[in-house]
Amino acid sequence: MDAPSRPALPNVVPPGATCLLVDDEPRIRQVLARLMKADGFECREAASGTEALQVLDEAPADLVISDLRMPQMDGVELLRHLRERHPDTAVMLITAVADVDVAVGCLSTGAMDYLTKPFHLDEVRARVAQAMQKRRLIMENREYQLRLEQRVSVQAHRMEELFLAGIQSLAEALEVKDRYTRGHSVRVSQYSVAIVRALGLDDNVARQVELGGHVHDIGKIGVRESILNKPGPLTDEEYDHIMLHPMVGWRILSPLLQDAPMALNIVRSHHERFDGRGVPDGLAGTAIPLEARIAAVADAFDAMTSGRPYRAERRYSVEAAFTELRRCRGTQFDPLVVDAFLTAVEEGMLAIPDFDLGEPPMGSA
């Protein structure tokens, strides 16, 4: 088994490619080392599977050629470790015993080839070429898949941005229709996210709650402007009409927010009450989705502090609104959500805007 005088295989061995030769027979390692170096590999050697893992942990190799039967750790066990710890390494196994079942088992475990002794060096060269080509294709395919996934992710993000821009346009159209809702959805969104943070919920909840806050009143597009902007108290019929907006908004957005179910829950259920006397479904307690209970507190606080045309009394001061939230803990609002909102304010997690509506708030000096 003399080293060949043939030139290195073209387009197979990349510059700086490394090979680890694992065999308990030094002469076999020497013959293989001469062969692999002639084809452009930088070679290292190990006398056992255990030693091979130590060498690879210090510096990974592109190719491992290993004997199957060795002391301490045989080639099959080495192969299993390599698949776990060095999955990018191509592995070829060599053995003096031709056993079809063992060969099939090694190939199914991840070996790229399986040779039997005595072997011809030209055969080894050809098999190495095939293994390196296969490794190259696998890694190129993986890189292509990664680039493709990145492109898909960028496109998906862009589509989501465009979609959210469309939703925001709907919300802005509502604000043009109802001057009293101008900025309301933004503030409800901000207050709701602050409550999410105070409750220690994750970023996915915060993202959906933020969206839900922006669009929670979108159903008011279907409410008559004469009622939205009516000065003074509403009649029972007018109040019932305006309170249809959660279901109207839910019907509008259901086909659009299938990937944001929490935001949809906010649109539908932000006027449910903790005591079960709310609309549209009369849900009570924890049967109301948590995200809707969060938005209910944020919505009520902003409604109290920014004023509404149909409310007979003036808008509340911030402190008076806090007092009202505490009074309605356990009846209109979830106590835990109220406490979280107050904690968020106390700890500076959100800033309450200074409204200027040309009238002093209730509860102010």
201, 180 Cβ separation under 8 angstroms: no
pLDDT in tens, 128-140: 888 888 888 888 8
Computed over every residue of the chain, the mean pLDDT equals: 84
215, 170 Cβ separation under 8 angstroms: yes
Residues 127 and 188 in one domain: no
Report d(CA 148, CA 151) in Å as an integer.
Answer: 5
Residues 6 or more apart whose CB falls under 8 angstroms from that of 90 comprise 62, 63, 64, 112, 131, 132, 134, 135
3-state secondary structure of 194: helix
Residues 217 and 282 in one domain: yes
Alpha carbon 348 to chain centroid distance?
Answer: 28
- Is 51 within a domain? yes
Where is the domain boundary, 125, 146, 167? 146
- Checking if the pLDDT of 313 tops 90, the result is no
Structure tokens at 196: 């999410």
Q: What is the pTM of this model?
A: 0.57
Residues 13-31 have a mean pLDDT of 88
Q: Which spans in the chain are helix H?
A: 26-38, 49-58, 75-85, 100-109, 121-177, 184-198, 203-215, 225-228, 236-242, 245-253, 261-269, 290-306, 318-327, 335-346
Residues 242 and 339 in one domain: yes
Residues 205 and 100 in one domain: no
Antiparallel, parallel or unpaired: β 113-116 and 90-95:
parallel
Query: Which pLDDT score is estimated for 272?
Result: 98
- Checking if the pLDDT of 157 tops 80, the result is no
Residue 14 half-sphere exposure toward CB, CA atoms < 13 A = 10
- Is 283 within a domain? yes
Residues 244 and 138 in one domain: no
Q: Give the total number of structural domains in the chain.
A: 2
Q: What is the number of other CB atoms lying within 10 angstroms of the CB of residue 156?
A: 10
Q: 308 or 300, which is more confident? A: 300
Residues 155-170 have a mean pLDDT of 73
Residues 112 and 242 in one domain: no
Alpha carbon 21 to chain centroid distance?
Answer: 42
Residues 330 and 248 in one domain: yes
Structure tokens at 205: 């909840």
36-45, 189-198, 260-269, 319-328, range with the lowest pLDDT:
36-45
66-70, 131-135, 180-184, 218-222, range with the lowest pLDDT:
180-184
Confidence of residue 179 (pLDDT cuts 50, 70, 90): low
- Is 159 within a domain? no
Looking up residue 189, the CATH number of its domain turns out to be 1.10.3210.10
- Is 165 within a domain? no
Q: What share of the chain in percent tops pLDDT 90?
A: 39
- Backbone phi, then psi, for 93, in 5-degree steps? -110, 145
- Please state the three-class secondary structure of 218-267 as a single string: HHHHHCCHHHHCCCCCCCHHHHHHHCCHHHHHHHHHCCCCCCCHHHHHHH
Identity of the residue numbered 357? L
Report d(CA 82, CA 76) in Å as an integer.
Answer: 10
> Could you list the residue range(s) of the whole structural domain that residue 68 is in?
18-146
- Checking if the pLDDT of 357 tops 50, the result is no
Report d(CA 84, CA 16) in Å as an integer.
Answer: 24
Query: Which pLDDT score is estimated for 223?
Result: 81
183, 151 Cβ separation under 8 angstroms: no
- Is 227 within a domain? yes
DSSP 15-71: TT-EEEEE-S-HHHHHHHHHHHHHTT-EEEEESSHHHHHHHHHHS--SEEEEESS-S
Residues 216 and 317 in one domain: yes
- Checking if the pLDDT of 359 tops 50, the result is no
Residues 244 and 304 in one domain: yes
Looking up residue 132, the CATH number of its domain turns out to be 3.40.50.2300
Residues 212 and 275 in one domain: yes
